[in-house]
Structure 1
Amino acid sequence: MAIHTPQTEAGRPLGRRERSKQRVKHAIYTSALTLFAEQGYDGTTIDQIADRADVARGTFFNYFQRKEDLVTAWAEGRSERLNSIMEESLHATDDVTVHLERCMAALAQLNEAERDITPVMLEAWVKAGRPLHEEPYTASIFTTIIELGKRQGRVAPDIDSEQVGHMLRDCYLGALYRWSPQDEGKPPLHVELRAILRVVLTGILGYREPR
């Protein structure tokens, strides 16, 4: 996955020096992810990353203070990509179910498109305690969608949107953790996320007992 490298700052094109710095940072980041996929996060050293990126060891620390900062960059890049997709989606006048389906599909695509690196980075993300300390951006997006559904009259008005947002995030992460190990016969992530969403939207009771 390419690290986010904006080409403008405050509405102005980046100068040659800034473009050069962006290229170096990008080279370090992509070299690190390649090595993580090849030999694991724990098995990769900063020296190896610098060597693969063809920079001095000290140059690495000009852009990342610790190896763990690469995990943060990875997570932030995914957050930016999902926010971009959903920001465009939420400008459309679609039904709440369409927005939820689009969000789940986008989450699946983020992971399935990078099948070789996602399990490695996910494990490093968990080991670093990021799920407990980072802003739960997926929960925030789900919360926004549920709020929209309430305004549409499609979601019950007494539903706690934030609670549902966190529930959907928990379901997503649980599915992601189960999918992450590359075992044969496992259903694709997008299939499981779609199944989870169906249960959330329709419930689990097949009938109601008469009162």
Structure 2
Amino acid sequence: MDDTPATTDYAAPLGRRERNKLKVRSRLYDSALKLFTEKGYEQTSVDEIAEAADVARGTFFNHFQRKEDLISAWGEQRRARLRDGLSASGIEQQDSLRAALERCMRILAAINEEERDVTRSMLMAWVKAGRPMQEAPYAGEIFAEVVDAALERGELPADINAYRVGCLLRDIYLGTLYRWSQAEERDAHLELSTELHAACGIILDGILPAGRAEPAAVPC
């Protein structure tokens, strides 16, 4: 008989100290995003963030080593929201690739549309901080998981590289997001969900008419 102690699947509740730390960190984060949206990331100082959160300047550095860490926290929160959204929406292993990708894009659109001003401010800060070049392509990895599932179902040719497709979808998502977030009043009709849905269609269906042969390459 196995006498290994039974394990539980739930985490122990946080103590008061840990809960207070999370509350202060959350207050700093929320205050920072509000100021970034109102004034801009570069125009907001750590002192202003601490004052808005009603804590001492040193308390800020107990939670974030530098102001740029707030950009990372913003990205982590959005990835968690995407994961939670995918889990809550019930994407199943047997879902078609088209349905799964469109659901991913729909969730991403909702996250951004809920807080357009924050998205615009933080996206600019993310780019200026060089994060697109420094960070791993997290969204691409999530897309690649969806493509991998389609490969396992035999929905795609076996020679398709899921990671490349995932990165391509990420590039399309980010490009569309940049354009949407910077749209002026004349482009107010531009809807992120519509644009992302159309982009998925182009990737899945291609742009060449079905059955039409490609022209022969011209010799160099």
**2:119 match:** 118
Q: CA 1:110–1:87 in 2, change beyond 3 Å: closer, same or farther?
A: same
In structure 1, what is the equivalent of residue 180 of structure 2?
A: 179
The alpha-carbon distance between structure 1 residues 209 and 24, as it changes in their structure 2 partners (threshold 3 A), is: closer
Matched length: 202
Distance 1:210 1:197, change over 3 A: closer
When residues 210 and 115 of structure 1 are mapped into structure 2, their CA distance, relative to the original with a 3 A threshold, is: closer
- 1:76 is aligned to 2:79: no
Distance 1:116 1:196 in 2: 23
Residue 146 (structure 1) aligns with: 147
Matched, 1:192 2:177: no
Residue number in structure 2 paired with 1:3: none
Deviation, structure 1 residue 60: 0.6
- The equivalent residue for 1:57 is 57
Helix, strand or coil at the partner of 1:117:
helix
Q: 1:203 aligns with which of 185, 190, 206?
A: 206
Displacement of 1:93: 3.1
Which segment is superposed worse, 82-91 or 104-113?
Answer: 82-91
Residue matched to 1:170: 171
Question: What is the CA distance between 1:158 and its match in structure 2?
Answer: 1.7
Q: Is the 8 A contact 2:94 2:153 kept in 1?
A: no
Residue 13 of structure 1 corresponds to: 13
Query: 1:194 deviation in Å?
Result: 0.4
Correspondence for 1:46: 46
Q: Which runs of 5+ in 2 are unaligned?
A: 1-9, 215-220
What amino acid is the match of 1:196? A
User: What's the RMSD between the two structures over aligned residues?
Assistant: 1.6
Q: 2:134 & 2:171 partners in 1: Cα distance?
A: 15
Task: Kindly provide the CA deviation profile for residues 37-72 of structure 1, in whole angstroms up to 9, marking residues without a partner as x.
Answer: 111111111111111100011111110111101001
1:1-40 mapped onto 2 (5 Å cutoff)? 11-40=11-40
Q: Secondary structure of 1:155's match? A: coil
Question: Secondary structure at 1:116's aligned position in 2?
Answer: helix
Q: After TM superposition, which residue ranges in structure 1, 4 or more long, deviate above 2 angstroms?
A: 84-93, 206-211
Q: CA deviation at 1:92?
A: 5.2
